[in-house]
Every structure is written in C-alpha cells, then in structure tokens.
Amino acid sequence: MEQSSGLTNILPRLNVSAISHSIINQTTHGEILAHLLFLPGQYLLVYKEGEATTYKFISPAALREAFVAEPIDSGYLPPNTVRWGRCYKGEWLVQFYPPQSCCISLENTTLTVPMPGLVFAGCDRKYWIWAVKKFDLNSPIFHAPLPNIMENGSICFGGNSVPNCSAAHIMQVWQLFWHSPFNQDLVQGKSKSYRENVRSHLQQLHNSNAKKYPTRDLVPWGNKTITTAIEEIIS
C-alpha cells in the first residue's frame, strides 16, 4: 500500500509498512482484530486481511464519526445541573444555584449571609465557583464573594480530599465546600466595598440581617462569561 504525497510530507521517515508488519507479527492473541496507532494529526489502523497485512490512515474527524453512534447516557443528573459532558480530562458538570441565604463558618463564627447566583463547576478533581448577576450563557461572571477561592475561581479545599467530578459526587463536594470553615486565605479582591478582606463584608451582611446580596458589590472576573470559562476548563 502506498502513502499519498500529503502523508509522506507529514511522516517523511516513517516506514509504515514495516511497522504494520511488525505489529501483526507480534500479535499472538486470536481475538485481537486490529491495532490503532496514534500519529501526529492522524491515526493508523493496522489489521490482517486473510494472510495479508493491511493498514490505512484515518483522520481524527473520521475516527470521531465512527464512534458518534455509540449511545451515551449521563444517568440521572443531580438538581441544579445545567450542563454535563466528558472530555479528555474526564467527566465534567456545571451547576447553577440561584440567590439564597447560606450559613458559613469563619473559623469560630457562624454567619448567615445572602449569596448572589452562583455557578459551580467541576472537572477531574478540580472545582470552580463564580458569581453571576443573572444566569445566561453569555453573561459576565464575577468573583464569588468568599475566601479560599483562587483568582481563576478554583476552590482551595485545604487538607480536604475531594473525589473526581461526576454526577454521583458533585453534590458531596458542594456540601463539603459550604460545611468547611473559611479562613483568612484569598480574601482580597472579592468585594468592591471591602477590597482587602471579603470576610468583613460577610460579617456586615450578617450583622445587618441582609436578605439579598448587593450585586453592585461584585468584582468582575475580566471579560469572562459562563461559556468562555467552561470552555477553558474542558479544553
């Protein structure tokens, strides 16, 4: 089988025929029907056809099309889940929680404070949280007004171990986030009125018995939207 000139340009020194024969000759298990090799920009399918060794190149698009008919079932998704998928990192989910009052622990103090709408996302063993003024795919996202959240929205769980993101585990991680005490780490840049320490704002909201989080106080996270933030996570 001859390679096209285009493939020769991509793989100028690769003796595909020799590689194919070597693979087949080393295959002793009768139930192995073919081999798929990952090459730069394409795939090589190697298999026996009678006594002959056959190989052919397959584009990523063609390989994806071959598997697209495979059924995929997410299973029953937990409440508040707005998006689910799989990527090369593993399973990922996105949840939206509308504005509501939450109980949080600041070391030895428990506060009841209103929260804005929150977007909670997970992929692999990492989790993110952002605030939104309204839930729309193209709406801007804001820093969640809470400590222990990094600049990009990823959550620092400290010494707590978190499971891989999945429909079965994401609610467990959500509960762990709220039940763990918040400390003095990563408290800056989360509130316009209390830029140096968002915990002071949370204390003020608790003391005033506030019923609604003042969204004008939210700090934008660059020009990111819900969509662009999620695409960065799964890409």
39 and 120 together in one domain: no
Does residue 94 lie in a domain region? yes
- Per-residue pLDDT band for 22 (boundaries 50, 70, 90) equals low
**pTM for this predicted structure:** 0.73
**Coil vs helix vs strand at 116:** coil
Residue 104's nearest CA partner among 185, 37, 182, 168 is 182
Q: What is the pLDDT of residues 119-137, one digit of tens each?
A: 999 999 999 999 999 999 8
Helix (H) or strand (E) holding 111: strand 109-115
What per-residue string of b and e applies to 148-180 under the rule 16 or more CB within 10 Å gives b?
bbeeebebebeeeebebbbeebbeebbebbeeb
Task: Yes or no: say if 93 and 84 are a contact pair by the CB < 8 Å rule.
Answer: yes
Does a structural domain hold residue 172?
Answer: yes
Domain count, the chain: 2
Residue 5 in any domain: the answer is no
Task: Determine the pLDDT at residue 3.
Answer: 42
Domain match, 54 and 108 both: no
Q: Which residue has the tokens 């106080």?
A: 217
